[in-house]
Chain A
């Protein structure tokens, strides 16, 4: 107590010093204060230095600074010399409350030699304010707005002079300037950190176009302590087909303990991109209960289905502070999520809402501020871009796959063409030796002096060579360019001709021919030998299907419906084609016949198609098959004979 008194005394002595010295003393204090304000320390630390200077140099026993909170409703003790330092940040005073509150409200200086007599006087338990007698309270003003209050107190009663008031007011102006700069600086730092966060995020997101990974990274950001620090985050995407919102991913701990454990792992900004990339790689097996719950969500996009739907419909963020008493909220969902406050932000790309980020602070109960929401809105732009990118990529990838498939088909057909040429070449080279082998085998037989075994062997050689020769002939026909040479022909005449030519075969096989040839068919443009081959092939196939049992072959011609031309149908009663081979019958070299080459039907199709027509099969298992050929009157791509 003694020291305090002597100090007071020494200062009051100082106050009596002559004017010019007094000015130097003032300049000294202000110099000190302005030196402190320009230090690159945190605002709180600088305030602490300032109150210390004031106590040391102005004869006050205590000096404190209270600053206005964000909502401009409360004053919070930020620095003190003389009051209990434990009450920093704890003393909160409503504007208008107490002497300092009145100072802030009225923006006026209050100088009281006995503060306790003032009707505004209140003191805070624990601050030890009761020890003081006089108080000088000065508002910290910026553009006539009160940012806080600085006040000094003395144990002994003191009458404040005009100079005392001027000095503290000048200091208050310095402090005001310092606070303003500090706020600007804080803003700049926050903006910078936001920028570097966004940079790190974009670096991370550029490492992948996998939508799942991107979604994981996005929610990793939203829940990472250094970035947004929300306890839990969920991502929803709009399904355009079903007009609903579907939960894609939920990220967040299932319990408070887990939360602490997870948050301790979250790194500083400079490692962020690496951390995010690792988040993207977390496998689905690690999914939490929350994630499972989110993934099960599927909500129709209608006005009555809750805040998620509203976020999509209105394309704006929602900050729900009291969900249970908010009629817009889907109660069922909130009960399951166990929260009373949450926020949603739309993800927008190209003026279209494609999804939602929803966040809550289930474990810390920290209120979601509008500033949080603004940052999240800015972030959602990047999210939209990343999702769009990923979707475009998968579209591109699908298109690319298709192109690759086409390319492979093209290569395949080119290969087949090359193979065809090779086959033709090979066939020719084989033909001559084959003719010689078969020819001499026949000579052996013709000599007539063979033993029965030698005769049998020669027969085998002759038959096998004949088979090979037939195969070669078919191959040569197949791989040859079969561009048709068109002339006008009557189809009915051609069919009659083929039937009479093979009449003996039908008779021998016990096959009855039924004809139904229309008289309304005009002559059409065809390559006669080729179409003759097709019709012959189809008749022979029909005969083959009825070998040993006989049956009926029905042949019918009629005008082609819809355009000029002809439809030829050839039906058999051979039981039809087994379904397992139906898909293969037009493939080259596919055959079920013992001595067939498998080229008949594929060649027939090739010929019909080169006429601009088509060949189809109507298969009736257990009954028979009908081959239907449609030939246009004139092929549109008809080539002139060369």
Chain B
């Protein structure tokens, strides 16, 4: 079985690079998108196994993107990543699989992704 592919969607370039390096170290293949539109293209091109999704983004925000995504794909795991913890209470993010408050300590994100992918594998 090949590497799991993760799509990182975030409007901040440095965050994307940080996530990419960290997740590649974990053994994932990482593709990047800086906005919802680019993310749509990447989704169609490369069929990721999991998406990390920033909430506050210009034009279409993460919550809206999630709603659109769920219309076409109900199963792809999505991890919401935000500097804010408040969106946890927004019922619209409940359509995601996890919610991680951004931190320089990437351990929570990594363990969350690992957990979700494992769960998905177990279900199969």
Contacts and interface: CB of A to CB of B under 8 A. Distances in A.
Interface of A: 427-428, 431-443, 446, 462, 465-466, 469, 473, 476-477, 480
Interface of B: 12, 14-15, 18, 21-22, 25, 56, 83-86, 101-106
A34 to B, nearest CB: 107
Nearest to A440: B18
A167 B25 CA distance: 144
A432 B104 contact: no
B102 A441 contact: no
A175 B84 CA distance: 108
B85 A435 contact: no
Nearest to B25: A446
A469 B104 contact: yes
B105 A428 contact: no
Q: For A427, A431, A435, A466, which residue has the most chain B Cβ atoms within 10 angstroms?
A: A435
Contacts of A434: 104
B9 to A, nearest CB: 14
Contacts of A473: 85, 101
A256 to B, nearest CB: 87
25 contacts: A428-B56, A428-B83, A428-B84, A431-B102, A432-B12, A432-B102, A434-B104, A435-B15, A435-B83, A435-B102, A436-B14, A438-B103, A438-B105, A439-B15, A439-B22, A439-B104, A443-B21, A443-B22, A465-B104, A466-B104, A469-B103, A473-B101, A476-B84, A476-B85, A476-B86
Nearest to B107: A442
A473 B86 CA distance: 11
Contact of B18 (A439, A465, A476, A480): A439
B22 A435 contact: no
A431 B86 CA distance: 14
Nearest to A436: B14
B15 to A, nearest CB: 6
Contacts of B84: 428, 476
B25 A435 contact: no
A434 B104 CA distance: 7
Contacts of A480: 86
Given A428-B56, A432-B15, A476-B84, A442 B104 contact: yes
- Which 3 residue pairs spanning A and B have beta carbons closest together? A438-B104, A431-B83, A436-B14
A435 B103 CA distance: 5
B104 A437 contact: yes
Contacts of B12: 432, 436
Contacts of B85: 473, 476-477
A436 B86 contact: no
A485 to B, nearest CB: 8
Contacts of B18: 435-436, 439-440, 443
B37 to A, nearest CB: 21
B28 to A, nearest CB: 16
A440 B102 CA distance: 14
A188 B82 CA distance: 93
A433 B13 CA distance: 10
Q: Which of A432, A433, A462 has the most CB of B within 10 A?
A: A432
Nearest to B16: A436
A464 to B, nearest CB: 10
A438 B106 CA distance: 10
A428 B86 CA distance: 11
Given A439-B22, A466-B104, 17 more contacts: A427-B83, A428-B83, A432-B102, A435-B15, A435-B83, A435-B102, A435-B103, A438-B103, A440-B14, A441-B104, A442-B104, A443-B21, A443-B22, A466-B105, A473-B85, A473-B101, A480-B86
Nearest to B56: A428
Contacts of A437: 104
Nearest to A477: B85
Most buried by B among A427, A431, A466: A431
Given A428-B83, A432-B83, A435-B15, A462 B104 contact: yes
Contacts of A438: 103-105
A438 B104 CA distance: 5
A433 B17 CA distance: 12
Contacts of B14: 433, 436, 440
Given A428-B56, A431-B83, A435-B18, A442 B103 contact: no
A435 B17 CA distance: 12
A428 B87 CA distance: 13
B15 A436 contact: yes
Nearest to B11: A432
* Residue among B84, B103, B106 facing the most chain A CB atoms (10 A cut-off): B103
Contacts of B102: 431-432, 435
A433 B10 CA distance: 13
Most chain A beta-carbon neighbours within 10 Å: one of B18, B102, B103, B104: B104
Contacts of B15: 432, 435-436, 439
Contacts of A446: 25
A212 to B, nearest CB: 60
B106 A439 contact: yes
Contacts of B101: 473
